[in-house]
């Protein structure tokens, strides 16, 4: 019994001494661990209230917590915290507003360590404004055609003086109502980066094409591979990913897009656009 008590004390000391560390972000698995070593529910709840948290409170996750014996009061506290009641803890710890390695409001952020005042800048979403089709028919016969989704404005509002930008993706709970996360995206793997075409005061991306060879007609939908830019990503911690590029980006306009959505006349989508302003 003394040995068990001693181990519990060591765990509490270890957790408290690292409470302000990014590695001490409380997750579902850590709550289960604390439960299984016998910590009282009151102690776990206190820990939740004084820590940075990143909980999954989906139905399946709640079932898993219950199966592992997590106290109902602890689960209720996890749900309250996940709704945003302890956001102040994260904001007050380790200058978290500029710390990319702790959870932020879900979204895509540009990381600039050379700007202490705005180290992390959220990439705003732009919505495709229209869809246009070029080509069609000639003397009643089909010809090659291209369908394009357009974004208003010749340039993104976010212009980067950085050919090798670093981005952070944050996948948290959806209580903030950001509609682009309702598709249940959980990692950058589910996104593509597009090199946008530029024309007058518009930017556009090809979404479909029709190629006619004699009597053969081939139609392709989706973003062409030639317009996609490869990127790398690494997981920093639960729900946090760092995105980098092996090759510098050329000057021009770009956009991240959720890969399972394609702009169309009936379904415009959010494009998280930015520009590279240097040669």
User: What DSSP string describes 72-135?
Assistant: HHHHHHHHHIIIIITHHHHHHSTTGGG-TTS--SSEEEEE-TT-GGGSEEE--EEE--EEEEEE
Number of domains, the chain:
2
Looking at residue 90, what is its pLDDT? 46
Task: Give me the tens of pLDDT residue by residue for the chain, a chain 279 residues long.
Answer: 555 554 454 444 444 444 444 456 889 999 999 999 999 999 999 888 888 888 888 888 888 998 999 998 898 888 887 755 454 454 444 456 788 998 888 899 999 999 888 899 999 888 777 665 555 554 455 556 677 788 888 899 999 999 999 999 998 754 444 555 555 788 999 999 999 988 878 888 887 656 655 566 666 667 888 999 999 999 999 899 999 999 999 999 999 988 876 655 445 677 899 999 998
Residue 164 located in a structural domain: yes
Residue 101 located in a structural domain: no
Task: Look up the pTM and report it.
Answer: 0.59
- Same-domain check for residues 170 and 225: yes
- Same-domain check for residues 87 and 119: no
Looking at residue 278, what is its pLDDT? 92
- Same-domain check for residues 80 and 175: no
Residue 140 located in a structural domain: yes
- Same-domain check for residues 192 and 258: yes
Residue 188 located in a structural domain: yes
Q: Of 51, 66, 95, at which residue does a domain stop?
A: 95
- Same-domain check for residues 119 and 180: yes
Cα atoms in the Cβ-side hemisphere of radius 13 Å centred on 12: 15
Residue 35 located in a structural domain: yes
Q: Of 95, 121, 151, at which residue does a domain stop?
A: 95
- Same-domain check for residues 158 and 267: yes
E strands of the chain, at which residues? 107-111, 120-122, 125-127, 130-138, 141-152, 159-160, 166-170, 191-195, 197-199, 202-213, 216-221, 228-229, 232-237, 240-244, 252-258, 270-276
Residue with tokens 């920093």: 236
- Same-domain check for residues 147 and 270: yes
How long is the chain? 279
Instruction: Name the nearest CA neighbour of 159 among 272, 278, 277, 279.
Output: 277
Residue 177 located in a structural domain: yes
- Measure the CA–CA gap between 251 and 279, rounded to whole angstroms: 5
Looking at residue 183, what is its pLDDT? 58
Residue 246 located in a structural domain: yes
Looking at residue 216, what is its pLDDT? 65
SS3 202: strand
- Same-domain check for residues 115 and 177: yes
Kindly state the tokens that stand for 237.
């911690």
Q: How far is CA 53 from the centre of its chain?
A: 17
- Same-domain check for residues 214 and 115: yes
Q: Of 71, 95, 119, at which residue does a domain stop?
A: 95
Looking at residue 177, what is its pLDDT? 46
Domain carrying residue 34:
2-95
- Same-domain check for residues 205 and 267: yes
């Amino acid at each position: 019994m003394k040995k068990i008590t001693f181990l519990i004390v060591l765990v509490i000391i270890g957790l408290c001494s690292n409470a302000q560390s990014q590695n001490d972000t409380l997750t579902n698995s850590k709550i289960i661990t604390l439960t299984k070593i016998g910590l009282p529910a009151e102690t776990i709840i206190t820990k939740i209230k004084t820590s940075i948290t990143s909980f999954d409170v989906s139905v399946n996750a709640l079932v898993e917590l219950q199966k592992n014996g997590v106290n109902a009061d602890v689960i209720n506290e996890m749900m309250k915290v996940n709704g945003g009641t302890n956001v102040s803890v994260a904001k007050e710890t380790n200058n978290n507003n500029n710390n990319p390695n702790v959870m932020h409001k879900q979204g895509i952020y540009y990381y600039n360590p050379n700007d202490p005042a705005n180290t992390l800048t959220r990439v705003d979403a732009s919505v495709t404004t229209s869809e246009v089709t070029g080509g069609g028919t000639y003397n009643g016969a089909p010809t090659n055609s291209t369908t394009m989704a357009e974004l208003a404005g010749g340039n993104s509002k976010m212009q980067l003086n950085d050919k090798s930008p670093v981005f952070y993706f944050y996948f948290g709970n959806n209580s903030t109502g950001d509609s682009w996360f309702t598709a249940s995206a959980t990692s950058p793997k589910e996104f593509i980066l597009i090199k946008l075409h530029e024309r007058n005061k518009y930017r556009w991306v090809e979404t479909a094409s029709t190629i006619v060879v004699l009597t053969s007609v081939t139609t392709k939908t989706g973003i062409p591979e030639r317009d996609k830019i490869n990127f790398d990503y690494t997981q920093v911690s639960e729900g946090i990913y760092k995105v980098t590029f092996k090759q510098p980006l050329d000057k021009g306009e770009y956009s991240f897009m959720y890969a399972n959505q394609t702009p169309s006349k009936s379904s415009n989508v959010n494009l998280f656009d930015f520009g590279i302003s240097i040669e």
